[in-house]
Structure formats: C-alpha cells, structure tokens
Amino acid sequence: MSDVMTEAPDTRALLLAALRLQLEWGADEALLEAPLDRTVPRLAAPGLAAPAPDTGGAEPAAARPRPAAPRPALVAPPAATRAAELAAGAASLDELKAAMAAFDGSTLRETATNLVFADGATGAALMLVGEAPGADEDRLGRPFVGVSGQLLDRMLGSIGLSRDHNCYITNILPFRPPGNRTPTDAEIALFLPFVLRHIVLAKPKRLMLLGGVAAKSLLRAKDGITRLRGRWREVTISEGTTLPALATLHPAYLLRNPAAKRDAWADLLLLRKTLNGD
C-alpha cells in the first residue's frame, strides 16, 4: 500500500476513493498472499474430536492464550491500482476515453461490443450518471439510446433540458455486463476511479444520479434509491472537492413501475428549481 500511496496526488485520491467504497461495503480484508495448503491432513474428521495428546500433566499449548494475529493490510489489487493510474494520467476527456479502452483489468471488455463513454453537450453544467450500458447502448456505443433513454429524453425535455444543449450523460460502467445483469460491487469499485476522473474533466456544476447503482456508488451509501432520492446531497470527487448531487429513479425502473413516475417528476421539479436559481 505504501508504494501505491506515493503516486501522484490524483492517483492517491482515486485509490483512496476506491478503497473507501470497498471498506464501506464490507470488503475490509485482503486475500492471503499465498494459497491455503489444503493437502495437510486435519486433526479429526468433521464432527469427531481429535484424541487429546499426552502432555505429562502440563497445560496443552493450544489451551494457553495466544496473542491475536494482526489483520492483513488492505492492499489494492493490481487491476485497481492500474485503473487509478490510468484515470489520473488522463488530462482530457479524449485521453480518458483512450485510457478506458486500453484498460484490460476487467473481463467486461471481452464480452462487450463497444466502449460506451458518454453523450451530450461537453461542458454542460449538469452531468447525469447512470448504471451500465444495455443492449442498444452496447451496439451503438452511446449511453441511454434505448427505450429507457427515450424516456429520459422526454423527462429532461419536460423541464427544458436536452442532451444536445445542456446535459452530459455517462454511466458507472463503460461496458455492458453480460445479460444486462446488475454490476457487481467489485466491478463498480474497479471503474470508480474512471468515473471520478470523468467528473473532474467534464467540470459539471451538479450531478444527477440515475438509479440505485449510481447513487450508492457515488454517495458511498448503503440505503436504497427510494431513501436516497428527493433531496440534494454531496458527492466527494477528491479530497476537499465535492459536488451537489440529486439521486432519482432510473428510467428503466419507471418503465416497469409507472406509478413511481410521480416521485421522478418531483425530483425533476426540484432539479429545475435548483438550476433556475443558479
């Protein structure tokens, strides 16, 4: 870990953010450096007590208290370290896209058709962050172009926004998970440095987090989206740097649960009111 922490400040901040997410989600121990030797015979079969050794009346060593073994240090795996280095080294959005395309630390790249980087107006004050590409997005290489994307465009249009003029859109993952499954915690943590660097380079004034995966990942929260939505919160981009963020329901969820559109509409009104006050 000491070697990792001596990298450039951007690398250090991105690694800390990725490690903090893993800690908050319960990944607080590293794997053993060497595999467990399972060829060593056990003292007794499961459910049977091993015969007590003849100690000549002395207290068995196993009965004497032993000092607690130190917990292994949390060490960033090589792929996470590489992701943070590539993200921190990108000085522009084009460089970040190239770095993400070159990153080979995830098998998602092998199963996806295209890298889905971003869409919309570069330099927009509002940046929307979704979950992961779907089948249409994977095929076209752009986020939110399927049915849920069409709904998102209508939602934004209802308050005078559009991806062509004043919105910039990306996802937590740049590659489609097989079968459109939900991203794993490990995948989210691996790509989080790229997402944070993306926000830094895009320079939005505010974020809108679409769905539970985006909201929990960037807010470092365990609550579900129904608890996180509805009010402005702060996303930590790096040490000492935060951005206001509004979580809301994902358009794909609204397609499955039309009754929830009322809550989404309330979030849109809050967004419009806030943007009008800027």
Highest mean pLDDT among 29-38, 48-57, 71-80: 71-80
Strands (DSSP E) along the chain, which ranges? 119-120, 126-130, 167-171, 206-210, 232-238, 241-248
Give the model's confidence band at 238: pLDDT under 50 very low, under 70 low, under 90 confident, else very high: confident
In sequence order, what are the residues at sequence separation of 6 or more whose Cβ sits closer than 8 angstroms to the Cβ of residue 69? none
Of 9, 44, 46, 24, whose CA–CA distance to 189 is shortest?
24
Give the model's confidence band at 29: pLDDT under 50 very low, under 70 low, under 90 confident, else very high: low
pTM: 0.74
Instruction: Decide yes or no: CATH 3.40.470.10 for domain 78-277.
Output: yes
3-class secondary structure, 90: coil
Q: Tokens in use for 225? A: 């989206």
Give the model's confidence band at 7: pLDDT under 50 very low, under 70 low, under 90 confident, else very high: very low
Q: How far is CA 201 from the centre of its chain?
A: 18
Instruction: Give dist(CA 137, CA 54) in Å, integer.
Output: 70
- The mean pLDDT value of the chain amounts to 85
Average pLDDT over residues 56-67: 56
3-class secondary structure, 222: coil
